[in-house]
Amino acid sequence: MKQSPPPAQQTPRWHAATRWVRCMACRCRKDIINTAGIRTTWGSRTMANNVPDADAVAVKRLKDAGAIIIGKTMTSEFAHKLLTDAPLFGATRNPWGLDFTPGGSSGGSAVAVAAGLGPLSLATDAGASTRLPAACTATVGMKPTLGVIPHNQVPDGFNNFIHLGVMARTVRDAALMLDVVGGPHQADPHSIGVAPVGAVAGINGIVKGLRIAWRPLVGNTLLDDEVRKACEASLETFRSVGCTVDVIDEAVENAEPAWRILQQSNWAARFYARVDEVAPQLDESFVEGIRAGGGYSGQQLLQATYKRTQHFRMVQGWFAKYDLVLTPTMSRPPLSVDHKALDPITIGGKDAGDMRQSWVPYLNMFDLTGHPAISVPCGWNKEGLPIGLQIVGPWYADAKVLMAAAAFEMAQPWAGRIAPHAPAR
């Protein structure tokens, strides 16, 4: 539906989609994914009047399958941070607690699904952006293997680590969506030769005998007690369905420093030459990232790509012994909705420093390595805020990841619990 987002002064207290429609054939799109004839703003004043001429590949595939677009969903400006507020529209609030963020940058997609505005939403994930909002809103968020969903909007198809992701209330719905949007396309070199996922066909497979590694820390040192308790209770659920689960406590290097150089260099390549001109229109934290990216040397950039390869080889090595890896999705529950992207965070009352390094070390790692990963709800804390569990698999084991998630959902269902601030149904 060709309806533009409302101006900032008309934005509701938590803005999710441009139109509240409930229909099992309806899908929402993150506002950085091109939709022909429908404004795609990237949450930025600099793109306020951008109307793409063509759909992104994934959008076209959904339309061809009969999907109805009901609206564009909120993102942080150019999807640059782990929160969902932007200069053009303001802040998106979490339907599980209006004083809290739904995470980012696909927070609008997550809220649209959690609040029942539509059963599915198309998102992106470059460093957390599908899985973190899913964990913050008790929804399912999957980042498939790099290239399984072709991404024809990225300027660098070869060194890309920006994935498209799927969001839904249930694992089966996520699998259905992945089967529609996945598959090779000439515009994305990572997608060429990729076989169909067969996600729906695979989710009823046998999980008995799967070897699972639980890694409570992935480059971080702090983990909220309630998050740990909920995730470790979930381990017993996997054991109850016949999986073996080993606890792995070896130290892992945090992936964020390499991720930061790669992503900030990406931003700088687009904006640094005119940063002084556009800075007054942009989010302050985005401007800082652009300026930082403009200061890296070619050697630093290449060293970050080397480090990315090291991370890939390490993670791939985990699957020589294990079929799947489990981690928390985030190290603490959702932050305050007015938390600033550049401000440090606390975990369990302790100073934890940089938000991306300490809140989501479990997420940017697998963006760099390209492994499939899904976040599923595994509990709620004492304040009623959701907690997410991440399931990670080898490259192209997307169906196995979904199969394990579906078995967990069957044993420990979540979809019947409705967010207290969702619209009346």
Contact residues for 344 (Cβ-Cβ < 8 A; gap 6+): 351, 352, 353, 354, 355
Q: Return the structure tokens found at 104.
A: 């980012």
Average pLDDT, the chain: 93
Per-residue pLDDT of 36-64, as tens digits, reads: 999 999 999 999 999 999 999 999 999 99
Q: Tell which residue, 128, 36, 113, 23, has the closest CA to residue 74.
A: 113
Annotated catalytic residue, options 76, 106, 121, 129 = 129
Q: For the chain, give me the number of helices (H) and strands (E)? A: 13, 14
Mean pLDDT (whole number) for 381-405? 98
Q: Give how far Cα 34 sits from Cα of 192, 327, 337, Å.
A: 21, 32, 27
**Cα–Cα dist 20/9, whole Å:** 18
| pLDDT value of position 425 | 56
| pLDDT value of position 28 | 80
Report the relative pairing of strands 345-347 and 244-247 from DSSP bridges.
Answer: unpaired
Q: In the chain, what are the domain boundaries?
A: 8-411
Residue 331 buriedness (CB in 10 A; 0-12 / 13-18 / 19+): buried
Residue at 45: amino acid letter: R
| pLDDT value of position 16 | 35
Q: Is 109 one of the annotated active-site residues of the chain? A: no
Q: Which CATH architecture has domain 8-411?
A: Alpha-Beta Complex (3.90)
The rounded Cα 62 to chain-centroid distance in angstroms is: 19
Tell me the CA end-to-end span of the chain in Å, nearest whole number: 22
Give the angle subtended at the CA of 247 by the CAs of 213 and 162, to the nearest 5°: 45
CB 229 within 8 A of CB 201: no
pLDDT at 13 over 50: no
Annotated catalytic residue, options 44, 105, 109, 265 = 105
pLDDT confidence bin for 2, thresholds 50/70/90: very low
Mean pLDDT (whole number) for 128-141? 98
pLDDT at 11 over 50: no
CB 318 within 8 A of CB 325: yes
pLDDT at 298 over 70: yes
Per-residue pLDDT of 243-279, as tens digits, reads: 999 999 999 999 999 999 999 999 999 999 999 999 9
The DSSP result for 114-160, as a single string, is HTTS-SEEEEEESSSTTHHHHHHHT-EEEE-STTSS---S-S-SSS-
Query: Full-prediction pTM beyond 0.85?
Result: yes
Mean pLDDT (whole number) for 344-367? 97
Annotated catalytic residue, options 30, 60, 72, 400 = 30
The DSSP result for 181-217, as a single string, is H-S--TT-TTTTTPPP--HHHHTTS--TT-EEEE-S-
**Cα–Cα dist 134/156, whole Å:** 27
Q: Tell which residue, 53, 54, 28, 29, has the closest CA to residue 42.
A: 29
| pLDDT value of position 27 | 66
How many other C-beta atoms are found inside a 10 Å radius of the C-beta of residue 215? 20
Burial 51-88, CB ≥16 within 10 A → b, else e? ebeebbbbbbbbeeeebebbbbbbbbbbbbbbbbbbbb
Q: Is 129 one of the annotated active-site residues of the chain? A: yes
Percentage of the residues of the chain whose pLDDT score is greater than 70? 93
